[in-house]
Amino acid sequence: MGTRIGERYRIIDYSIKVLRSNDDGQIAQVLHPYWIYRNDVYQMSTILNDVESVISKEAPQVEIVLTGGGFIEFHFESEEPNRYWRTDSVLKNLVETIEKKTEVLSNLLLQNSDRDYIIGVDNKIVDRGIGQFALVFARGESKKVIWKGFPVDEESKWLAGFGTDYARSCPRIIKTALGKVE
């Protein structure tokens, strides 16, 4: 699927870039500056609510809204060794935590949306991204949490659940309004 950049819309200090697909539909990419405190899920929900409003008015043909990785971040304090993070139980706990902490997205915004959202969520301890996830909302109804299973460089030493059976069970293909995504 080839894409080309279409319109750009600016909201406060972040912007939306609409990518126009040749035949399949349109995707809006939400760009955000690093200075926004991304640990506040209510603030990020407000931003996504603003995004939904702008897209509904200015680009209603958009089928999917995609944020960057770490659009929402949760920080944890821990001095556990790296091997601790590479267990099924830690990964399951992080998935459950993300589901609970992001319920506000479903309640405030995404349950009424006419499009799909894929939102990047990171879990960090100090400078390590122990868990990197995507929240997938299909027309505001279903929510899936998908985790990163292919580490880059040193991430394999601490990436939550890496190499475990549960980590391998993560869906690699999801259905979206524009078809399957791998």
Total structural domains in the chain? 1
Find tokens 């894929």 and name the residue.
118
pLDDT confidence of residue 130 = 74
Higher pLDDT: 165 or 33? It is: 165
What pLDDT score was predicted for residue 28?
Answer: 85
**Mean pLDDT in residue range 136-151:** 79
Amino acid letter, 120: G
What tens digit of pLDDT does each residue of 67-119 get?
888 888 888 777 777 777 788 888 888 888 888 888 887 776 666 788 899 99
Percentage of the residues of the chain whose pLDDT score is greater than 70: 77
Give the per-residue pLDDT at 1. 35
Whether the predicted model's global pTM rises above the 0.85 cut:
no
What's the rounded Cα separation, in Å, for the pair 25 and 176?
11
Sorting pLDDT into bands at 50, 70 and 90, what band is 2? very low
Domain of 176, in residue numbers: 3-181
The phi and psi torsions of 145 (rounded to 5 degrees) equal -110, 120
Looking at the DSSP assignment, which residues form a beta bridge with residue 124?
75, 129
Q: What is the pLDDT of residue 150?
A: 81
User: What does the pLDDT read at residue 100?
Assistant: 87
Q: Is 114 helix (H, G, I), strand (E, B) or coil?
A: coil
Give the single-character DSSP code of 164.
S
Q: How far apart are CA 176 and CA 24, in angstroms?
A: 11
- Rounded Cα distance, 65 and 119, in Å: 8
Per-residue confidence (pLDDT) for residue 22, from 0 to 100? 52
What's the pLDDT at 30? 84
d(C-alpha 145, C-alpha 45), whole Å: 17
Band (149; pLDDT cuts 50, 70, 90): confident
78/148: higher pLDDT: 148
Residue 176 token pair: 């979206």
Both ends of the chain: CA-CA distance in Å?
13
Regarding predicted confidence, which is higher, 157 or 142?
157
State the alpha helices, DSSP H only, in the chain: 41-58, 82-85, 88-101, 103-108, 165-168
- The sign of the torsion formed by the CA atoms of 164, 72, 141, 117 equals negative
